[in-house]
Structure 1
Amino acid sequence: MILALRKILSDLRADTFFKVLLAALLVLSAFAPSGIASYPSLVDWSTIAALAGLLLLTKGLEASGGLHRFGVWLVNLMSTERVAAIYLVLAAALLSTVLTNDVALFVVVPLTLSVCRLTGMPATRFIVFEALAVNVGSTLTPIGNPQNLFIWQLAKVSFGEFVLHQLPLVAVLLVALIGLTALSFGGRRIDARESDSSKLDGPLLALSLLLYVPFLLVTDMHQSAYAFAAVLLLYLLMRPRVVAQLDWGLLLVFILMFIDLRLVARLGAVQELMKGLELQIPANLYFAGIGASQLVSNVPAAIALAEYSQDWKVLAYGVNVGGFGLLIGSLANLIALRLSGDGKAWKMFHVYAVPALLVAALLGYFLLFRI
């Protein structure tokens, strides 16, 4: 436990985003110290509980070795560079619908780097397309990314209703992405056969898989706190090491994000600015979601704009489309390029992501307001 605490503190000291949020909180608190006692009420604890449960379940799947086995099986199906790209893009998109976009990248990107080392394929371009893929795939479900999880808890709609609303956008974006992938990679034959000597923790894999659906069902009933408590207890009893490996620092970052953004939203100058945007007009909210994502990333954008509009359908389209474009649009973009190890990957990313933003913005607008 002490080692786990030290790792959390070490990760937080190295996390620039956490330090920015903490500094902002200190400044805001200095101007209004009487409001500190109300800070817990600013946090959407149902979203935090749902996010914690998902992180724990996906950590269990990862620690079991099951995801790695799946990845090796996928790699062994590849025959050409184009086929490899399509497989990896589809795998990233599909995994992100249930494992969140960042977890999908932690699975797919290391496999991609391994395959590219063996075959000489262009790793950076693969990873750029995988970043685009998780932005597309994670848009579909309430658990695909943090902004969807927040919007889902806020809207209090069913899992199925959320998916049905997002499905048209995801379908057209996925078709466009697969087409672009096929055009961007050649037909050179590859031999990427890999053997897997890693150990599989069968009981942990079974536990994680068996808990997934009940967790989603209880969360869908808007009882995420009870769902997380049950999952946490079972892991503590059966695999406490998984609990210790959980990214608790990420949860703290989200708690700070809720407090900071809601404090900022209360400022008079900010309220006047937001009134001027006329966010009660759906089209304005849609483009505000896209624009704000380019400035502060789509998760903070969702939290901030939710203070001024309850139109979850438009907000969900706006902030998910906003994940494309500039690198900061989605934290998943930053994770993907960081994992690539290529300091110049951001240039290639923007070559594809900025046009993708324009296309996605037009498609989203058409689906929302012209059909």
Structure 2
Amino acid sequence: MASDALVIAVVLVTFGLLFFNQIRVYPLSRSLTSATGAVVVLAIGAISPDEALASVDTSTLLLLFGMLAHVEALSLSGFYGWAGSYLVDYTGTARRLTVGTLVLAAVLSTFALNDATVLLLTPILVKVVRNADVDPIPPLIAVVLGANIGSVATPLGNPQNAYILNRSGLTSVEFVTHLAPVAFVCLFVAALVLVPITTSGVPLPEVPVPDIDEEWALSSLAFLLATFVLLILFPDADPGIIAASMGILHISWLQLFRRVPGEDVLHGMDWSIIVLFVGIFILVGSLEQTSLMSVVGGFGAGWRFAGLTFVLSNLISNVPAVVLLSSGVSGDAGWLVLSAVSTLAGNATPIASAATLIVLQQAARRGVDISIVRLLSVGLPVSILTSAIAVFLLHAGV
């Protein structure tokens, strides 16, 4: 049996490596890093194979599978390209584009994973801002802020919320009732910060709106909405079973009525998220018998717990932070604080959220470098302020 110190060190080093997508000439994959760490803790005897299997939350993985299926099907319909291009033509100026991007990213991330939202919107925005004589940074930062803040509102918005829905005992209605108002207020705060740093009145070039299969897009949106409605109507049912079942029905519908091979949807899904979570579950499971867990469990559900959540999310990223802290949550208020603060902390630094890293990477590949200093100058104050607002509102309303 490995010592406490060795197990904790392996887990923390693994979580630390999740920050990086490359070290010198060596590429790193977050999902593979997580899985490799899981193999190491198994190899050193920190957790047995049976315990490792028991630590994997199957319901969360099923919920993520269902959401990934919905998102990929919606993407194949051409919806994201259409929405981004239509936004540019509708707003017309740089400032309106920034605010519009903030709102669109928030709305899309409410019902679809925030990582998918930024992955699909960022290339469209980069193309527009590069062809216009405007500062490209504000609308790209707006994608980050909007996607993270919007995903606070529902259990379908991001992976950590999906996990919390399964572990907390909260129903989807309770989740939305408490967190949707928080997301709305925080979105308003982000807009107030973004507007002054965006050039006003600068016209944008027209962008051709790509083709969209309207019937396909509407039906995919209907499957997303139906999944959410079923989660509300059947609060005692396993949310993973509901989401996965709807995802399979969605793919089957495309295959039957749109003649789209199911393999096309399955092939395009981001399976790395599933692998990432399996690894994190096993890593956190290996900590169950260590002294670290007693420290994590001593923070209650108030401001100290919120502060720990914020700091830990920016040290090891919000997904592993949520899984780690879930063992020390106190009551519904604690789960809601954990959900809101871990997600809003994602706006503080590139470390805290995969969505932020995706925007940075996508923009850099297309020739737009977002300065870390510039990102921090906006994201950090917005993150701290919105996290504080979230804790205040949640403790006032729970």
> Shorter-chain TM-score: which interval?
0.7 to 0.9
The structural deviation recorded for 1:226 is: 4.8
Q: Distance in 2 between matches of 1:234 and 1:137?
A: 24
Please, which moves more after superposition, 342-351 or 51-60?
342-351
Which residue of structure 2 lines up, in the alignment, with residue 232 of structure 1?
A: 248
Which residue of structure 1 lines up, in the alignment, with residue 104 of structure 2?
A: 91
Which residue of structure 1 lines up, in the alignment, with residue 120 of structure 2?
A: 107
The structural deviation recorded for 1:345 is: 2.8
Does the 8 Å contact 1:232/1:243 carry over to 2? Answer: no
Change (3 A) 1:231 1:171: closer
Change (3 A) 1:215 1:253: same
Q: Distance in 2 between matches of 1:119 and 1:321?
A: 31
Does structure 1 residue 141 correspond to structure 2 residue 154? yes
The structural deviation recorded for 1:272 is: 3.8
Q: Distance in 2 between matches of 1:34 and 1:80?
A: 56
Which residue of structure 2 lines up, in the alignment, with residue 268 of structure 1?
A: 290
Q: Distance in 1 between matches of 2:231 and 2:278?
A: 19
Which residue of structure 2 lines up, in the alignment, with residue 352 of structure 1?
A: 378
Which residue of structure 2 lines up, in the alignment, with residue 63 of structure 1?
A: 76
Which residue of structure 2 lines up, in the alignment, with residue 153 of structure 1?
A: 166
Q: Please, which runs of 5 or more residues in structure 1 have no aligned partner?
A: 1-10
Q: Distance in 2 between matches of 1:212 and 1:358?
A: 31
Question: 2:272 aligned to 226, 249, 258, which one?
Answer: 249
The structural deviation recorded for 1:206 is: 4.2
Letter in 1 for 2:128: V
Q: Distance in 2 between matches of 1:214 and 1:76?
A: 30
* Identical columns (%): 22
Does structure 1 residue 280 correspond to structure 2 residue 296? no
Q: Please, which runs of 5 or more residues in structure 2 have no aligned partner?
A: 1-20
Q: Distance in 1 between matches of 2:306 and 2:326?
A: 12
Secondary structure (helix, strand or coil) at the match of 2:180 reads helix
Change (3 A) 1:281 1:186: closer
Does the 8 Å contact 1:43/1:258 carry over to 2? Answer: yes
Question: 1:314 aligned to 305, 313, 337, which one?
Answer: 337
Please, which moves more after superposition, 330-339 or 200-209?
200-209
Q: Distance in 1 between matches of 2:274 and 2:47?
A: 25
Which residue of structure 2 lines up, in the alignment, with residue 209 of structure 1?
A: 221
Does the 8 Å contact 2:189/2:386 carry over to 1? Answer: no
Does the 8 Å contact 1:118/1:192 carry over to 2? Answer: yes
The structural deviation recorded for 1:298 is: 1.1
The structural deviation recorded for 1:188 is: 2.9
Q: Distance in 1 between matches of 2:390 and 2:247?
A: 36
Change (3 A) 1:254 1:73: same
The structural deviation recorded for 1:335 is: 0.9
Please, which moves more after superposition, 79-88 or 211-220?
211-220
Q: Distance in 2 between matches of 1:208 and 1:321?
A: 28
Secondary structure (helix, strand or coil) at the match of 2:91 reads coil
Q: Distance in 1 between matches of 2:323 and 2:112?
A: 21
Whichever structure has more helix as a proportion of its residues is 1
Query: In the TM superposition, what are the counterparts of 1:287-326 in structure 2 within 5 Å?
Result: 287-310=307-330, 311-326=334-349
Change (3 A) 1:163 1:80: same
Does the 8 Å contact 2:280/2:320 carry over to 1? Answer: yes
Change (3 A) 1:336 1:234: closer
The structural deviation recorded for 1:343 is: 4.4
The structural deviation recorded for 1:34 is: 6.9
Q: Distance in 2 between matches of 1:195 and 1:60?
A: 23
Number of corresponding residues? 356
The structural deviation recorded for 1:230 is: 4.7
Q: Distance in 1 between matches of 2:277 and 2:48?
A: 19
Does the 8 Å contact 1:288/1:318 carry over to 2? Answer: no
Which TM-score applies when normalising by structure 2? 0.82
Secondary structure (helix, strand or coil) at the match of 1:307 reads helix
Change (3 A) 1:212 1:167: closer
